C-alpha cells in the first residue's frame, strides 16, 4: 500500500482532548496531518476556506473530519448538517467523536448522515485502543478518494 | 145492582110527594097571611063586628097551627129520605169500587162481598158469601186466625200484604186494609183488598234497575260520592266506604267531616265551586293521612241538575286515587330537584343541545336548550345569550364547532370524551359528550387551560432538566477523560523513558481536576438558586451597581474602563446577594470581552417601556454575533473554548432573574459593535 498523507480535521473545543487524540494517533505511526479547530464556526470556516483559513495550504480539504458535538458558537450537529448539505463535502467522511453517549445525539447524528459515531471512553486504555482501531480502519483499510496528490477532483 | 136502582126509584117517588105537601102548606100559609093583612087593614078603618071577628080570628089561628104541624111532618120525612139517599149512594159506590171489599165475621165467614171481589176472584156473590176467608187466602193459616183477630181488635186497623187464590187457582199478591167493626153486638172485619200484582211488577222492575245501577256504582273502582246542596253525603259507592272505612257511616254526614275530619268547609273545594258555578270542577286534594292508604286524590265535581228546570240539585263527586301517580310525580320532582341542584352547582359547565338537520337529515347546526351557571363561568357567555340560539351564532363560527363529533354522539348514543383547544374562546377544554334524548346531546366540560399551562410548564421543566442532565454528564465526563487520558500517556512515557512532557501533562491533569471542581461548585450554585426562600426586600439598584463596581474595581482600573452610572435607577424587590451576583457577572463579562478597545467604557441606565422598567448595561467591547444571542445563556455554553470559567455565568444570571420574575436578553449588532444586556426586575412588593 502506497503511503499517503492522510489529513484529518479535528473539531474539538477541549484542548486536552485534542492533545490526547493527536498523541494516540502519533503512537499509531500513521503519516497524517491533523488540523485542529476549537469551535463549529472555525470548522466551517476551515472547510469553506474563509477568514484565517483562506489559504489551502493552511486549510487543505481533509480526508476525514473528527467532529465533537458540544462546541462553542456553532453546535457539532449543526456543523454536521452544514457539511452534509454541501455537495462538495459529501466525499469527506465525518466521524463523530464525543463524550456524549446520549441516545438523541446518536440518532440525530446518523440522521444528519454522520459516517461513524464514537464516544470517548474515560478509560485511557480503551481510548487508546479505540483510536488505534480508528486509525487502522480509516487510514489503512478504508479507501478514500485521494485529491491531494492525483489532482483529480471528483466533483 | 138492580135492586139498588129500584130502591132509588121508589125513594124518588116519596120525595116527589113530600115536595107536593111542602108546596101546598106554603100556598095556604101565603093565603092566610094575605087575609090577615086585609083584616088588619079593616080593623084600622074602625068598623069591627066583634063576634064574627073573634070567630074568624080563632079559625085563622087554628088553620095556622095545622099548617105548622104539616110543615113539621114533611120536614121529618125529608130528613129520613136524605139519610136513606146517602146510605143508598154509599152502598152503590161500595159495590162498584175497583178494590175488593170482603167483609167477614169472627168466624171468617164472608158477610159482604162487592162486585170487584166477585169479578177478580171469579166467584158469584152467592158462592163467595158461602165461603170463608181461608178458602181464598193463599198463605194465611187457619190456626193463626184467632190471634190475628185479637190483634185487629186491639188496634182497630191493620194493613197486611198477602196473596189470594182465584176460583181458577191463580194466585196473586194483595194488600189488605182491615178495619174492626162491632155492629149490633156482632164483630166484623171489614177489609178492602187491592190486587198489587202490577205494583209488585213495577217494584220488581224498580228493584232490578236499582240493583243494576247499584252494581255499576259499586263496580267503579274510583270513589263516587253524591252530595246534597248542604254538602251532606247522600250516597257513596263501596270504594268510598272501603277508603274511608274508619269514618263510617259516610251517608248523612257532611263531606268535610267524614272525608277530611274537619268541621269547616275545605278551601279549596271543587264541589263548593261546582255548586255555585254549575260547571264541572276538579282539584287534587289530600286524603285522610293515616286513616287510609289513599294519600292523594283527584276530585272531579260534576253538578247534578234537574233535567227539566236545570236547577242544581246536588254534586256528584268522582274521586280518583292518584296516590301512586302523585308519589311517582313527587319522586320525579325530587329527582328533578336533585339533578337540577347538581346541574346548577357542579363546577363543570353543562350545555344541552339539539341537533338541527337539513331536509335530507344531514346535521347542519345545533341549538342550545339549556346551560348551567358554570357554563357562564367557563365561557364568559351569558346564558340568556345562549339558550335557544344556534352554535354558529353563539360562537360566531361559520360552521358549528365540533358538529361532526356532537351529531355522531346524538345519533349513535355512544358517549365521547376529548380534550380540545377552542379558538373562539382561546381556552383548552376537557369535554364529555353524551346523548340525552333523540337527536340531543349534552356537553359536560371543564376549563383545563390552567392545567394545560401547567403541563406545558412541566414539559418545559422536564426538557430543561434533560438538557441539564445531558450537559452535566457531558461536561463532567470531559475532565475525567483528560485526567485518565494523560495519566495513561504519562505512564507510557515514563515506561519508555520519555520525560520531557511529563510536567506539562501533569499540569493538564491538575487543570482538568480544577475544572471539575469549578463545575461542581457552579452546579451546586445553580441548584441553590431554584430554592430562594428569603423574603424579597426593598433594595436600591443603584447601590447594587455601586457595590458590584467596587468588587471589580481592580480589573476596571487595570483595563482603564470608564464606567458611567446614569441617574434614576429605581428600588427593586428581591434577594440582594443574588442580584449583586447577576450585576457582577454582567459587568465582569463586559470587562472580560472588552477586547483591544482604546477607550473602553461601560454605561448603566434604565429605560421605561410599556410601563416596565428595563435595566441596561452597554459596553463597547468585542460584541456578540446575533446568532449566538440565545445560545450564550445555555448552561456551560461558551463562545470561546479558551476563555476561563465554566460557562455557567449567564445561565446563572438568567436563572436568578427568572426566579425573581424578570427577563434577561441582549442586543448587539455583531462583532466589534459592542453589546447591551437588558434585564427587568420587580419594582413593587407584589
Per residue in B343-402, pLDDT (tens digit) is: 999 999 999 999 999 999 899 999 999 999 999 988 888 988 899 999 998 888 888 889
Residues of A in contact with B488 (CB under 8 A): 124-125, 127-128
Q: For an interface test with A, which of B465, B470, B472, B474 has the most A Cβ atoms less than 10 Å from its Cβ? A: B474
Which residues of chain B approach chain A closer than 8 Å at the C-beta? 470-471, 473-475, 477-478, 480-482, 484-489, 492, 508, 511-512, 625, 628, 631, 637-642
CB–CB of B477 and A16 under 8 A? no
Chain A residue at shortest CA distance from B473: A100
Q: Do A77 and A69 touch, CB atoms closer than 8 A?
A: yes
User: B481–A99: do the CB atoms touch at under 8 Å?
Assistant: yes
Instruction: Please answer yes or no on whether A127 and B481 come within 8 Å at the CB atom.
Output: yes
Chain B contact for A26 (CB, 8 A cutoff): no
**A102 contact residues in B (CB cutoff 8 A):** 470, 473-474
- Residue B4 and residue B87: Cα distance in Å, rounded? 11
Q: Which carries the bigger pLDDT value, residue A155 or residue B324? A: B324
Size of the A and B interface in Cβ pairs below 8 Å = 74
Q: How many of the other CB atoms lie within 10 Å of CB of B498?
A: 12
Q: Are B587 and B549 in contact (CB under 8 A)?
A: yes
Shortest CA distance from B630: residue in chain A? A73
Instruction: Decide if A72 and B641 are in contact by the 8 Å CB cutoff.
Output: yes
Chain B interface, mutation test: which of A10, A18, A19, most B Cβ atoms within 10 Å? A19
Phi/psi-derived region of residue B670, left when phi > 0, alpha when psi is between -120 and 50, beta in every other case: left
The pLDDT value recorded for residue B91 is 84
Strand B571-574 and strand B562-565: the pairing is unpaired
Contact B449, B428 (CB under 8 A): yes
Mean pLDDT for B34-57 is: 69
For chain B, percent of residues with pLDDT exceeding 90: 25
Q: Which of B320, B317, B322, B326 is nearest to B256 (CA)?
A: B317
Over residues B496-551, the pLDDT tens digits come to 888 888 888 999 999 889 888 888 888 887 777 766 556 788 899 999 999 999 88
- B314 φ, ψ (degrees, to nearest 5): 175, -170
Q: Does A14 touch chain B (CB under 8 A)?
A: yes
Residue of A41, A30, A33 whose CA lies nearest to A63 = A33
Pick the CATH number of A6-143 from 3.40.50.2300, 3.30.70.20, 3.40.50.720, 3.40.50.150: 3.40.50.2300
Give dist(CA B264, CA B437) in Å, integer: 49
Residue among B473, B486, B638 minimizing CB distance to A72: B638
Q: Closest partner residue to B485 among A72, A98, A127, by Cβ?
A: A127
- Asked if the model's pLDDT at residue A109 lies above 90, the reply is yes
Chain B residue with the nearest C-alpha to that of A41: B639
Whether chain B has a CB inside 8 Å of the CB on A129: the answer is no
Cell triple for A119: 464516544
Residues of A in contact with B639 (CB under 8 A): 39, 72-73
Q: Find the mean pLDDT for residues B188-212.
A: 91
Q: Is the pLDDT of residue B1 over 60?
A: no
User: Distance between CA atoms of B162 and B160, rounded to whole angstroms?
Assistant: 7
Minimum-distance CB partner of A122 among B471, B475, B484: B484
Specify the pLDDT at position B527.
78
CB distance A72 to B637 below 8 Å: yes
State the pLDDT confidence band at A151, using cuts at 50, 70 and 90.
very low
Q: Which residues of B touch A23 (CB under 8 A)?
A: 489
Contacts of B470 in chain A (CB under 8 A): 100, 102
pLDDT tens-digit readout, B246-270: 877 888 988 888 887 788 888 778 8
pLDDT, one tens digit per residue, over B473-503 is 778 888 899 999 999 989 988 898 888 888 8
Q: Report yes or no: A142 at the B interface, CB cutoff 8 Å.
A: no
Mean pLDDT to the nearest integer, B436-453: 91
> B209-255, pLDDT tens digit by residue?
999 988 998 898 888 999 998 889 999 988 888 888 887 788 898 88
End-to-end CA distance of chain B: 139
- In terms of CA atoms, which chain A residue is nearest residue B510? A16
- pLDDT for position B523: 81
Q: What confidence score (pLDDT) does residue A118 get?
A: 93
Q: Which residue has the higher pLDDT, A61 or B41?
A: A61
CB contact under 8 A, A15 and B637: no
Among B474, B487, B641, the residue with its CB nearest the CB of A100 is B474
Name the residue with cell 482604546. Answer: B598
Which tens digits make up the pLDDT trace of B419-432?
Answer: 999 888 888 999 99
Q: Mean pLDDT over all residues of chain B?
A: 85
d(CA B301, CA B218): 18
Residue B132's pLDDT band (boundaries 50, 70, 90)? confident
Cβ of B484 within 8 Å of Cβ of A123? The answer is yes
Q: Are the C-beta atoms of B351 and B375 separated by less than 8 Å?
A: yes
For B347, other C-beta atoms within 10 Å of its C-beta total 10
User: Which phi-psi region, left, alpha or beta, contains residue B396 (left: φ > 0; alpha: ψ -120 to 50)?
Assistant: left
* Other residues' Cβ atoms within 10 Å of the Cβ of residue B36: 14
Query: Which residue is closest to A98 within chain B, CA to CA?
Result: B474
Q: What is the mean pLDDT of residues A52-81?
A: 86
Mean pLDDT of chain A: 84
User: How close, in Å, is residue B496 to chain A by CA atoms?
Assistant: 12
B136: left (phi over 0), alpha (psi -120 to 50) or beta: alpha
A124/B484 touch (CB, cutoff 8 Å), yes or no: yes
pLDDT the model gives residue A30: 61
Chain A residue closest in CA terms to B476: A99
Interface of A with B in 32-71 (CB under 8 A): 38-39, 70-71
Strand partners, B102: B113, B191
Residue B476, judged by CB atoms within 10 A of its CB (0-12, 13-18, 19+), counts as middle
Residue range A135-149: average pLDDT? 76
Contact A100 B508 (CB under 8 A): no
Task: Say yes or no for a CB contact (<8 Å) between B641 and A19.
Answer: no
In this complex, which of A16, A39, A122 lies closest to B477 when CB atoms are compared?
A122
Q: Using the predicted structure, report yes or no on whether residue B472 has a pLDDT greater than 90.
A: no
Q: Which of A38, A71, A99 is the closest to B477 by Cβ?
A: A99
Chain A interface, best mutation among B463, B470, B485, B623, by max A CB count within 10 A: B485
Residues of B in contact with A70 (CB under 8 A): 471, 474-475
Say yes or no: A100 contacts chain B, CB-CB below 8 A: yes
Does the structure show a pLDDT above 60 at B46? no
Amino acid at each position: 500500500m502506497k503511503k499517503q498523507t492522510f489529513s484529518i480535521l479535528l473539531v474539538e473545543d477541549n484542548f486536552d482532548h485534542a492533545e490526547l487524540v493527536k498523541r494516540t494517533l502519533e503512537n499509531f505511526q500513521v503519516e497524517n496531518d491533523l488540523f485542529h479547530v476549537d469551535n463549529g464556526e472555525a470548522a466551517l470556516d476551515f472547510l469553506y476556506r474563509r477568514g484565517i483559513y483562506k489559504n489551502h495550504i493552511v486549510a487543505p480539504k481533509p480526508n476525514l473530519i473528527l467532529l465533537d458535538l458540544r462546541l462553542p458558537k456553532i453546535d457539532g450537529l449543526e456543523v454536521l448538517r452544514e457539511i452534509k448539505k454541501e455537495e462538495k463535502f459529501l466525499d469527506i467522511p465525518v466521524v463523530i467523536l464525543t463524550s456524549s453517549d446520549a441516545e438523541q445525539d446518536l440518532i440525530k447524528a446518523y440522521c444528519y448522515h454522520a459516517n461513524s459515531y464514537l464516544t470517548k471512553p474515560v478509560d485511557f486504555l480503551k481510548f487508546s485502543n479505540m483510536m488505534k482501531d480508528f486509525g487502522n480502519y480509516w487510514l489503512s483499510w478504508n479507501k478514500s478518494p485521494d485529491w491531494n496528490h492525483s489532482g483529480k477532483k471528483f466533483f | 145492582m138492580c135492586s139498588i136502582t129500584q130502591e132509588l126509584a121508589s125513594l124518588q117517588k116519596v120525595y116527589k110527594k113530600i115536595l107536593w105537601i111542602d108546596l101546598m102548606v106554603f100556598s095556604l100559609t101565603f093565603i092566610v097571611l094575605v087575609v090577615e093583612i086585609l083584616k088588619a087593614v079593616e080593623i084600622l078603618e074602625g068598623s069591627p063586628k066583634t063576634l064574627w071577628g073573634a070567630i074568624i080570628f080563632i079559625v085563622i089561628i087554628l088553620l095556622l097551627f095545622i099548617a105548622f104541624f104539616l110543615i113539621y111532618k114533611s120536614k121529618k120525612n125529608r130528613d129520613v129520605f136524605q139519610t136513606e139517599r146517602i146510605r143508598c149512594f154509599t152502598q152503590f159506590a161500595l159495590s162498584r169500587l175497583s178494590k175488593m171489599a170482603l167483609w167477614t165475621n169472627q168466624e171468617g165467614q164472608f158477610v159482604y162481598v162487592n162486585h170487584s171481589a166477585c169479578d177478580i176472584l171469579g166467584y158469584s156473590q152467592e158462592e163467595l158469601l158461602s165461603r170463608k176467608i181461608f178458602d181464598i187466602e193463599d198463605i194465611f193459616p187457619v190456626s193463626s186466625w184467632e190471634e190475628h183477630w185479637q190483634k185487629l181488635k186491639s188496634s182497630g186497623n191493620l194493613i197486611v200484604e198477602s196473596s189470594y187464590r182465584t176460583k181458577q187457582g191463580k194466585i196473586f199478591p194483595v194488600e189488605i186494609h182491615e178495619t174492626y167493626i162491632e155492629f149490633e153486638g156482632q164483630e166484623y172485619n171489614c177489609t178492602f183488598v187491592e190486587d198489587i200484582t202490577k205494583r209488585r211488577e213495577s217494584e220488581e222492575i224498580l228493584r232490578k234497575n236499582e240493583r243494576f245501577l247499584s252494581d255499576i256504582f259499586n263496580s267503579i273502582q274510583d270513589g263516587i260520592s253524591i252530595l246534597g246542596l248542604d254538602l251532606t253525603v247522600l250516597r257513596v259507592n263501596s270504594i268510598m266506604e272501603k277508603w274511608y272505612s274508619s269514618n263510617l257511616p259516610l251517608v248523612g254526614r257532611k263531606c268535610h267531616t267524614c272525608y277530611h275530619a274537619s268541621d269547616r268547609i275545605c278551601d279549596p273545594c271543587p264541589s263548593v265551586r261546582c255548586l255555585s258555578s254549575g260547571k264541572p270542577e276538579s282539584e287534587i286534594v289530600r286524603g285522610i293521612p293515616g286513616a287510609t292508604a289513599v294519600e292523594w286524590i283527584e276530585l272531579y265535581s260534576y253538578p247534578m241538575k234537574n233535567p227539566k228546570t236545570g236547577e242544581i240539585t246536588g254534586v256528584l263527586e268522582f274521586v280518583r286515587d292518584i296516590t301512586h301517580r302523585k308519589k311517582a310525580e313527587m319522586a320525579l320532582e325530587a329527582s328533578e330537584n336533585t339533578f337540577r341542584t347538581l346541574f346548577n352547582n357542579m363546577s363543570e359547565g353543562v350545555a344541552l343541545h339539539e341537533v338541527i338537520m337539513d331536509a335530507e337529515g344531514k346535521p347542519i347546526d345545533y341549538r342550545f336548550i339549556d346551560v348551567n351557571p358554570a357554563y357562564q363561568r367557563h365561557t364568559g357567555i351569558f346564558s340568556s345569550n345562549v339558550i335557544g340560539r344556534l352554535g354558529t351564532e353563539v360562537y360566531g363560527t361559520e360552521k358549528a364547532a365540533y358538529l361532526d363529533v356532537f351529531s355522531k354522539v346524538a345519533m349513535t348514543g355512544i358517549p365521547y370524551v376529548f380534550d380540545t383547544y377552542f379558538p373562539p374562546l382561546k381556552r383548552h377544554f376537557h369535554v364529555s359528550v353524551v346523548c340525552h334524548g333523540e337527536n340531543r346531546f349534552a356537553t359536560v366540560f371543564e376549563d383545563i387551560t390552567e392545567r394545560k399551562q401547567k403541563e406545558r410548564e412541566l414539559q418545559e421543566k422536564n426538557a430543561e432538566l434533560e438538557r441539564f442532565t445531558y450537559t452535566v454528564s457531558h461536561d463532567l465526563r470531559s475532565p475525567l477523560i483528560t485526567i485518565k487520558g494523560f495519566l495513561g500517556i504519562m505512564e507510557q512515557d515514563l515506561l519508555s523513558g520519555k520525560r520531557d512532557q511529563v510536567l506539562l501533562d501533569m499540569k493538564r491533569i491538575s487543570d482538568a481536576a480544577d475544572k471539575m471542581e469549578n463545575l461542581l461548585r457552579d452546579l451546586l450554585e445553580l441548584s441553590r438558586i431554584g430554592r430562594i426562600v428569603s423574603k424579597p426586600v426593598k433594595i436600591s439598584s443603584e447601590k447594587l451597581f455601586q457595590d458590584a463596581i467596587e468588587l471589580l474595581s481592580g480589573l476596571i482600573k487595570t483595563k482603564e474602563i470608564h464606567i458611567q452610572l446614569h441617574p434614576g435607577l429605581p428600588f427593586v424587590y428581591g434577594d440582594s446577594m443574588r442580584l449583586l451576583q447577576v450585576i457582577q457577572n454582567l459587568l465582569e463579562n463586559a470587562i472580560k470581552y472588552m477586547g483591544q478597545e482604546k477607550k473602553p467604557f461601560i454605561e448603566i441606565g434604565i429605560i421605561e417601556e410599556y410601563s416596565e422598567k428595563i435595566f441596561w448595561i452597554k459596553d463597547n467591547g468585542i460584541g456578540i454575533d446575533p446568532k449566538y444571542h440565545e445560545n450564550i445563556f445555555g448552561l456551560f455554553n461558551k463562545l470561546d473554548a479558551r476563555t476561563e470559567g465554566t460557562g455557567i455565568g449567564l445561565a446563572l444570571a438568567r436563572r436568578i432573574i427568572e426566579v425573581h420574575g424578570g427577563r434577561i436578553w441582549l442586543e448587539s449588532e455583531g462583532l466589534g459593535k459592542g453589546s447591551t444586556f437588558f434585564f427587568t426586575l420587580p419594582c413593587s412588593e407584589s
